Amino acid sequence: MNQLLSIEELSAKDLERLLDSAEYLKRQRGRDGQTLAGQTWALIFTKSSTRTRVSFEVGIRELGGFPMFLSGNDIQLGRGEPIKDTARVLGRMVHGAIIRTFAQQDVVDFAEFSGIPTINALTDDEHPCQILADLLTIREKLGTWEGKKVAFIGDGFSNMTISWMWAAKRLGFELAVASPVSCQPPADFLAKLDAANVTITTDPAAAAKGADVVNTDVWLSMGQEGQKEKELEFAGFQVNSELLAHAAPGHIVLHCLPAYRGKEISEEVLELHAGTIFQQAENRLHAQKAVLVAIARKS
C-alpha cells in the first residue's frame, strides 16, 4: 500500500494483512528492523491529540525514522497557505505525512499534491488508524469478528461510525448503530455503503441486544464543542450497566478515547472495562507501525 486515507479504500484482505502484521510487530516489539531508517515523517495536526500523536511518534522512532510534529497553528497552513502548496513543499523534503484535520478532501489533496505516502490520522469523515486498533483488540479479546455482533452507541455519522460502517461492509460482521435521528447516517451514504449487515436504530437497547462488542465515542467530536443542542439529543444513549445488561455474555466494551464519564459512558463501565479500553489505546501503536511498514515496503 502507498497511503491510508480511509477504511473505505481498503479491502478485507488489506485489513487482515495489516492486522496480522500488527500482531507480529506487537510480539516483536523491541526487535524492530530499521524499516524507516533515514526517513523523516511529518505529523501535521490541526486538531488536538494524545494517542495518535504519541503512537505515531514512538512508532516512527521504533522503526528507525524521525517524526517531525507540525502543529497546524505553527506552520503557514494556519495562516491560510493552501494545503496543495504545503503539500508540494513537504513532498520535496519529507518521506511521508500523517495528517489530522477537518476536511477529508484536505488529506486527499495533500496525498495528490505531495506525491508522498499520506496517512489519515483523523478527519471529520474517517478515523482509519483507530479502527485498525479496534479490530486488533477484538481479535485479541474475542478471537475473531466473524459471527459477532458489534453495537455502536452514539453519534451515528461521525468519523468513528463512518469508519466502523466501512469496516463492517468489508469484513461482514453485524454492526448495529444506535443514534438519535438527527445524527443518523443520511440515505445517500447508506445507499453508497449498501451493507445489509449494518443496521441503524434509535434504540440503544435494541442495538446492544446480544452484542459481543459495545462501542462508543464522544457525543461531540472535535470541532463541535459548544453544540449544546446536539449534546442534549443523546440523553438515553449512555453506555452504562443498564444498557450492558442487554449485551451477550462475555461482551467487551470499546472506547477510542478520550472519554467523557457521565456522558457517553458511565464511570463504572469505563473502569470495569479499562483493561480492554487501554489495550485498545496501546494497539494504536502496533496497528500504525503495521501501516508504516506496509507503506515502506509497498506491500
Residue with cell 465515542: 217
Burial of 58 (0-12, 13-18, 19+ CB in 10 A): middle
Tell me the three state secondary structure of residue 266: coil
Q: Answer with the entry of ligand NVA, ligand CP, none that 215 interacts with (C-beta below 5 to 8 A by kind).
A: none
Bridge partners of residue 250, in order along the sequence: none
Q: How far apart are CA 225 and CA 5, in angstroms?
A: 25
Could you give the angle at which helices 51-62 and 274-296 cross, rounded to 10 degrees? Answer: 50
Task: Phi first, then psi: give them for residue 118, nearest 5 degrees.
Answer: -130, 135
Residues designated as active site:
100, 127, 130, 217, 256, 284
Work out how close the CB of 174 gets to ligand NVA at its nearest, in angstroms, rounded to a whole number: 22
CB closer to ligand NVA, 158 vs 238? 158
Of the candidate residues 58, 193, 222, 272, the single one contacting ligand NVA (CB under 6 A): 222
CB closer to ligand NVA, 39 vs 104? 104
Q: Answer with the entry of ligand CP, ligand NVA, none that 50 interacts with (C-beta below 5 to 8 A by kind).
A: ligand CP
256 part of the interface to ligand CP, by CB under 6 A: yes
Among 13, 58, 14, 51, CA closest to 32 = 58
Q: Answer with the entry of ligand NVA, ligand CP, none that 160 interacts with (C-beta below 5 to 8 A by kind).
A: ligand NVA
Find the length of the chain: 299
Cα angle vertex 106, ends 257, 159, to 5°?
Answer: 30
CB closer to ligand NVA, 69 vs 102? 102
Of the candidate residues 130, 184, 216, 238, the single one contacting ligand CP (CB under 6 A): 130
Of the candidate residues 160, 239, 254, 292, the single one contacting ligand NVA (CB under 6 A): 160
Of the candidate residues 104, 158, 276, 283, the single one contacting ligand NVA (CB under 6 A): 158
Of the candidate residues 193, 248, 257, 272, the single one contacting ligand CP (CB under 6 A): 257
Burial of 75 (0-12, 13-18, 19+ CB in 10 A): middle
296 part of the interface to ligand CP, by CB under 6 A: no
Binding site for ligand NVA (CB under 6 A): 122, 127, 158-160, 217-218, 221-222, 256
